[in-house]
Structure 1
Amino acid sequence: MTDSRPGDLFKPGDLVNNTYRVEAILGRGGTSDVYRARSEISGRLVALKVLKSEFSTNEDYLLLLTREEAMRDIRHDAIVRYSENHRTADGHVYLLIDYIDGPGMDKKLKQGPMSADDLLVICKRVCEGLQAAHERNIFHRDLSPDNILLRDDDPAQAVIIDFGIAKDTNPGAETIVGNEFAGKYAYAAPEQLAGKTDARTDIYSLGASLLANFRGKSPDIGRNPMEVVQKKAEPLDTTGVPEPLKSILDKMTQSNPDDRFQSAATVLNALAGNPFDTAENEPLLDATVIAPLNAAVKAAAQAEPVTAPPKTTAQKAPPKPAKQDTKKSGMALPAAIGGVVVVAGIAGAFAMGLFSSAPSLPVADPYRLSIAKAKDAPPRAVGFVPGEEVASALREQMQQQNGTFDLTLASGAIAESWGQDMLTVVDAIDEMDAWRVSLSGNVAEIEGSTTSRPVFDAVMAAFDAGAMGALSGEPDLTLEAIILAPEKLDPILNTFADCGPLTLVNRPLAGYGPESPVIVGGVMSSEESRSALANALSAIIGSRPLDIDVDILNSTLCLIESVLPKAPSSPNDVAFYQGDQDNNPNPTGEFLVGENPVIDVEIPADVTDGFLTVSVLDVSGNVFHLLPNINRPDNSVEALREGQTGPVSIRVAYSIQESQQNGGLAFRVDDSTLGKSKILVIHSSAPLFNEMRPTSESATSYSEALLGDDRNMAARIFSLDSRILETLPR
């Protein structure tokens, strides 16, 4: 649940349309907020998705919300049920949605790894919902853990939500987001970055989401757009994922969409236990296929029978007797069709360790084991172990902390002391707050973090004393401060600042405590950039609340922001007035179609020299120079004051009536330039440019002038101030 804020449209207790009593705010998004409310007529809980004020009169966003409402035609338990749109008396638009009482997979992800069994159940359930949507040629495009809820915390009742940017490919359908990228970088399919979307895109995103929840952490997407593209071309790391989930995820998340499952139906077929052919990419239904054995399995089949794995001192049972695990590690092999042995199925079963109870252990190649413990969560162990004695010891360690395990007995190319070395490593690192041990053969990746200096020193000492034994690898151990220094977040803000500087609001001098909220302010170029920033910050701030309170600007404004000279703000201010209403003040800076914005620059008493440059960066991609221009070439503060002392208001955009009298610039809002424009006020020691700029020019031309020889580099920039002017439809 999210805390209510003064700026929220609805507050707990509000009655919407005389029907729905608001109980809480569930979450905030870039264009809308979602509230939980209860019908005072029926008592039914509902979710109200409300467009933010700035979008409630925008036809594009209204169409997006209307198309989301059209999802009500899809009736499936795995897809949230939509009702209809409403508009409040004061013009706010909201969508009525069924309330799902249960956590999102994003919340489960923060709590730590989920079991493979639960994820297989979720995969089946969500694919059933996707199949219903895909049959109507509707693709979600933003499938991620936060868009999958578990009703009553039950994996079998997973529900897909938020079809707000779903793409409808039916003839005549309008797609507001178009073919541009939509979704979250962390879970988007590689082709989605280029705007390509179909059923296979959702399949990839679901697979990436399931893998994240198995790991208990979000995917690493890189630090900048170039790294995002590079990482998306690489296969997802499914090391340590048990079968059959591993093979399913590998197939779902192939970087080439042609190599993936081609539909939700084919995923469901594979989940039902039907083998699938990676070459032809279709389920092998009733066909009998003779396929070559996996090389490792073939070698094992040709070797002399082994009655038991050789015992070494490394694999002796610990002094404390271990409980016998009664859970079966395999499953029954389906009967061969028509009495013919399906060799491919047997090879796959051996490779997955399904016959581990037999006297001869199958060969695992690669030989992998993953053990992880998230902060304030029980540990989990998944993968291969070389014998029942080692398995029992590891199970006991997991059970002592209410952890879970999914272990398969297998032989492989590992050191004789592998089992004991692994147990020693786990025992050494177990006192840390969060840790991960991932083994592939004899190579170990070990990560751990703690806020306790004694624990950190003890673990470091254990590894310095040789706790790894025959295993190779460098432990990556971190001593985290209880107080998070703001300076640690600055590099991330600088990396993702794509439209001007990003700042920490109410930056704490003493640092962020364990529960202190991290609030980011500034401007960004897109919702995708904001999402990527959120992912990057979340990896650093841990469980601290995060609020990215930024304005999303258009590409023109961001282009200029990137080349503007760096300078502090000042007491210089911008004031707006209604030229068509006797110059009445307009403190909001919002103007409707047909209205006449009047703009004043207000300078304080102590600003008496230098030069003022005032420009409007228009939403259409143009720049209008209000001061200086051909009609008003002298922009020195001395000339603008005209002998006046004290604070002075300098008019730079006039009412239509004033313009007719003095020839000054005047504007009237029309419906071709709706959106956010920016007023820039630059105070410099000399004229900003060597020559007079045209009254109107393109943003590109102005950017080149700021960077090139046109700029008067001798001019010292004292300050740079700005204010947003927004034009809206009637």
Structure 2
Amino acid sequence: MTESRPSDIFKPGDLLNNTYRIEAILGRGGTSEVYRARNEVSKRLIAVKALKSEFSDNEDYLTLMTREEEIREIRHDAVVRYSENHRTRDGHIYLVMDYVEGPALEAVMNNGGMAAEDLLKVMTRVAQGLQAAHRRNIIHRDLSPDNIILRGGVPEEAVIIDFGIAKDTNPGAKTIIGNEFAGKYGYAAPEQLSGNSDPRTDIYSLGALILATYRGKRPQMGNNPMEVVQNKALPLDTEGVPEPLKSLIDKMSDPIPDRRFQSADELLRALEPGLEDRTVIVPRAETAARTPEPGPAAKVEPKAEIIVPKDKPAETRPKKKKSRGGLVFLILLLLLGGGGAAAWFTGMADPLVARFLGPKLPVADPYTLIVERPETGAAQVVGFAPSEEVVAALDKIAGEIGGSADLSIATGDISESWGADVLALIAIVAPLDEFRIAVNGNAARVTGVTRDADLRLAVENALKDGLPGSLQGSATILQGPVIVTEPMLRAVIDPFQDCGHLSIADMPATGFGQGATITVQGQISSTAKRVGLFDALTAMVGDRRVVVDTEVLNPALCAVEASLPKVGAGGFKFTFGFGDRPDPNPSGRYFVGENPVIDVTIPATVTDGFLTVSIIDVSGAVFHILPRRTEPDNSVEALREGQSGPVTLRLAYSEADALADPEKSKIAFRVDASSLGKSKIIVIHSDKPLFDTLQPREESAQAFGEALAEAAASASIRSMDSAILTTAEK
């Protein structure tokens, strides 16, 4: 179970809509958090998906949450059931859905994987769920092992969850994801990288996630966008996977959508027995090892059999170019009739042949050309061209992009406009920071990267109706640096640091590649600043997910934050409760009218030194709890009173206790509506008293910060621990 944080939208114990009691947080994402809750009326467990506050007023995200709610119309046990959206009094939007008890397929994968026979059961169950969704024109687009839950751990009870980026293909439907890339690179179909998706996209992802679960490890798609795109053009490696699972995955995850199962119905016919009247057995050709360049499939002997539907239309083949064999035959007759066979084979007849057919050129098969400019390394133009003019133009391009050319003139199965079409394509993509064009005959595959969003849009628009002329293929243009390094991120993050250090979670030594998630953690002074940081990072990192997991503190707390000592925690634990009842309050969240009780526990290992305890409230006032006039001795020895082991001190009492013993000036308070928000409790452990004299019972955050900065240099501070107390309207 994920541990609760002070910055979470909801806390354990919160009651939503007088009905749903929050029990635990299940997970955090870039735009939302998911909680386990219980219906106080029916006692049924449910899940709550809450939109983060910075998106609660964004119409695009509200549309997305509404779209997800509308998926409740899908009625199938293999699809999580949605209920409805609600809004809390403080503006948070949340969506209620079924709670599915059981491990995610990702947990199974991380624990070593699953047997093929069980995965066939999972595949069948998920295909049934997809069938129900696709019939309502809903495409999931993000199928992965973490979005499949095994109810009760049973493969036959698999449930698809998280339709958060699902695409509705019904006319007029809205989704903020639109036709842009959505999903996880490891499981996304190749066409998703270009923003295309249909039911076959989900079928590819299902095949990829089943394979990953069988292997017990995530797919490795490459270290940069070029590698991702190139690897996506290859069949998945299913070597060692037993039949029939292997053949099913091969067909589900074919890089070419037309060669996959075309629907969930078709996949289920292949999976379910007793449907021979609707299917025939056809041989499946073994796929030869392929390079990233597109090209005709190699002809090999049949290896395995899979079930496909009858009456599937035969794959159409490109029309052959009109042959000039008649003219060649005539020349041969003339040569042979005059005893000129020797002249033909020795080359003496070349002038005659050239007169009719042009120069005798070698035939290139396959007819390939690679034009690329990588971010690092030399640019190159390598392959074949049909004429000296095209070679000269490509030579010039090689020089302009900072590389060299290695070209041969040859004939091949290409269109008459091939040269002009290729040059036109290069002209379109050349402004990109990085690009690669792989041509095989009249087929081409284009990939590119740019940091300029407008340039990306311009190139995509230029290619939206297809590649130039007779060229056939697709283009994938990604945005953002190929690698995002720590200095690049710090240049964006540091200007927003107004409440302590903001850190980058799990920063790779080599930087974040395409498709990575970049998470920033720490504290910040306002929601507006948090949104500003999110926007600035999103604009810089391109096609990467940004998560700003920051706690919003008030300006007063942030002002003190800069003065607090930069030391580690000492293991002091805070406990929150209520003055009028014995219930614990682990969230530290209190509503108007409630009487907070606060305790701090001294660890068993802390036996000497001095403690300074203060509360900085939302208004900017600082209240000193230890030492104070009625308890001036703040040495650990005196506070322990001879006790060993962990010792608990009460910092804030119930009103009844405070009134019963007025001589000790016990601190007690009740939350009122005049000053609501977050307050911070700090415990500083030092070698000697932090201040030479008692601080006033109450002072400003600025004065406390100045005194603290002066005292910290000489008091030899060992540690500092803190906790957040939040007050709010009911």
On whether the aligned pair clears a TM of 0.5, the verdict is no
TM-score, with structure 2 as normaliser: 0.43
TM-score, with structure 1 as normaliser: 0.43
